[in-house]
Amino acid sequence: MRPVNVVLVVIVVALAAGCGRAAPPIGLATGCDGAGRPCVRYLPGIDSDGAPLDRSSLLLTLTAPASLGPKPANLAAVTAAIDLETGAPALKLVPVRALRADPQDRRQVYIDLAGMLAGGAAIDLPEAVIRSESGKPQPGFTVKVESPVTPLAVSLAGVMWTPSDTSLFRFEGTVKPGGSRDEAKVRVELEGRLRIRPGSSDAAVTAVLARYDAGDVKLKVPEHRVRAGLLLLTGTSGEPAIDFILASTNRRNVPFQPLEVKDLSSQGAFAAVFYQPFTGKLQMVIDDKMAAETLDNIAVVLAHEALHSGLGSGSATEETLAMAVNTRVYEELILFDPAIVLTPSTFTRQSNALVLALRNSGRFGFPAAGILPRPGVDDAVHGALDETARSFRDLLFKPDFYGDIPKSGATGSEILESYYGRIAGTAATQGKLRLDQDTLRLFDAVMDRGLTPEQVLKLHAALRLRPTAVAEGR
């Protein structure tokens, strides 16, 4: 009987020891994405087409299966942001919309947020938010977030831009352009416009002026002011237009004839491109008043017209892409010299309005600027124009006037792919781009690519735009 008593004593002692051992508190697991790293994954919000939204979620993996207590009323994450009026670093509170347990894995918890979070954001989960499976409250802990989102994106996602000075967008008070057409004077003007650029070098300026003086360039663009405007595209996203217009051949073997200057007032156009079937060449004509514009404005219109080098009849899609490219070029010229937005010409006022529309649009690159309708914005030109437009595309996309090309539309010329490569910083992966909705989407996603936060804010400041909160509940 004594051995039995010994065994019973050992069992009792073991049970007593087990009952006194407390389970460790539930916290964040580590090692999911690298040794020692907390298991916190940032999940950007996207719509049904994969376009970004101003919301996000965090997926937490815990050290043990858990349940959730009630969500505190004011629970929010703290994220880095940018003060859009001063450009100074700022902090933003992003409310927590919901806490969700993963029904497939009780060790996982989702935190749904009403906005984006930049890298370095954090959220303090109070005591009793996380509970054991039996409902026992657990200690609180801090969740730190790694995210590709920038502080500027956090701030841009919640606003649209409205003019504080509507005179920059209205057509009242404009004057007829009167730029010199004297070869020597235009050369001096071109040099001045190049030297005003930050980082401009003597060698770079000399190279551009040499092309201005070159005989073959003069033959292709005999009008001095137009030639200078074309060469002013050097160093911009529109630079591929220079060689494309000057080339003696191209992918379709349909080059441009020498550029002409004529009165196009009857057509209501700043410039136009025509296909000459008898010569097998393209003819670009610049309106005589446009040819007297600032060199910056001439550069913008030439970047636009170069894209009209396909052999189709034109379309709303093609016009929207051309306008998007020339607006990006205009933005880059503003960054060189913000004073150009003050030029009192019809073309400048129109270009200013296009920048506003671009800034208030953008779907697949959201919250960066773009072409397609932007979440939360109903009028991309609010406060600037009498008409309304849901987006940059909707301001220009008028199939009843231009006609439209379906998704299987015509292939554009190589200049379309060159523009995309310059703006996106990469070549289009699918080869030849078509003038269709898919290409609109490609450009929409990259229209702000290559611009720093400081440059984006500089554009807004130049046009005297102020940030306005978008409607809630988007």
pLDDT tens digit string along 425-464?
Answer: 986 555 688 888 889 999 999 999 999 999 999 999 999 9
Q: What token pair was written down for 177?
A: 């352009």
Distance, CA of 294 to CA of 287 (rounded, Å): 13
pLDDT tens, 288-341? 999 999 999 999 999 999 998 876 656 788 889 999 999 999 999 999 999 999
Give SS3 for 92.
strand
Domain covering 40-157 assigned CATH 2.60.200 in the classification: no
- Domain locations in the chain as residue ranges: 40-157, 160-469
The percentage of the chain sitting over the pLDDT mark of 90, rounded to a whole number, equals 77
Q: What is the mean pLDDT of the chain?
A: 90
Residues 28-33: contacts with CB under 8 Å, at least 24 apart: 28/60, 28/61, 28/62, 28/63, 28/141, 28/143, 29/61, 29/62, 29/63, 29/107, 32/61
Distance, CA of 216 to CA of 231 (rounded, Å): 14
Q: How far apart are the first and last CA of the chain?
A: 78
User: Would you state the pLDDT for residue 268?
Assistant: 86
Distance of CA 192 to the CA centre of its chain: 30
User: Would you state the pLDDT for residue 314?
Assistant: 63
Distance, CA of 196 to CA of 279 (rounded, Å): 41
Residues 430-436: contacts with CB under 8 Å, at least 24 apart: 434/405, 434/407, 434/408, 434/409, 434/410, 435/310, 435/312, 435/315, 435/317, 435/318, 435/321, 435/405, 435/409, 435/410, 435/411, 436/317, 436/405, 436/406, 436/407, 436/408, 436/409
User: Would you state the pLDDT for residue 435?
Assistant: 83
Q: What token pair was written down for 326?
A: 């020339």
Give SS3 for 416.
helix
pLDDT tens, 395-415? 876 555 455 544 445 667 789
The type of residue at 183 is E
pTM of the full predicted structure?
0.90
Give exposure, 40-52, as e/b (b: 16+ Cβ within 10 Å).
bbbeebeeeeebb
User: Would you state the pLDDT for residue 23?
Assistant: 82
User: Would you state the pLDDT for residue 12?
Assistant: 40
Read out DSSP for 142-199?
Answer: EEE---S--HHHHHHTTEEEEES-GGGT--TT---------HHHHHHHHHHHHHTSTT
- Any idea which of 102-106, 246-250, 311-315, 449-453 has the lowest mean pLDDT? 311-315
Distance, CA of 141 to CA of 300 (rounded, Å): 55
Q: Is the distance from CB of 146 to CB of 39 less than 8 angstroms?
A: no
* Region 65-86 average pLDDT: 96
User: Would you state the pLDDT for residue 313?
Assistant: 56
CA atoms within 13 A on the CB side of 164: 10
Distance, CA of 97 to CA of 77 (rounded, Å): 11
pLDDT tens, 119-152? 999 999 999 999 999 999 999 999 999 999 999 9
User: Would you state the pLDDT for residue 4?
Assistant: 45
User: Would you state the pLDDT for residue 312?
Assistant: 60
Q: What token pair was written down for 449?
A: 């690519």
Distance, CA of 117 to CA of 421 (rounded, Å): 29
Q: What token pair was written down for 108?
A: 């996982």
Q: What is the dihedral of CA 110, 66, 79, 149, to 10 degrees?
A: -40
Q: Is the distance from CB of 409 to CB of 315 less than 8 angstroms?
A: yes
Please state, as a whole number, how many other Cβ atoms lie within 10 Å of the Cβ of residue 131. 16
Distance, CA of 290 to CA of 301 (rounded, Å): 9
Give the residue, 267 or 149, on which the prediction is more confident.
Answer: 149
Distance of CA 333 to the CA centre of its chain: 17
pLDDT tens, 355-384? 999 999 999 999 999 999 999 999 999 999
CA-wise closest residue to 283 among 311, 255, 264, 307: 255
DSSP H or E segment with residue 2: helix 2-19
* Region 155-179 average pLDDT: 94
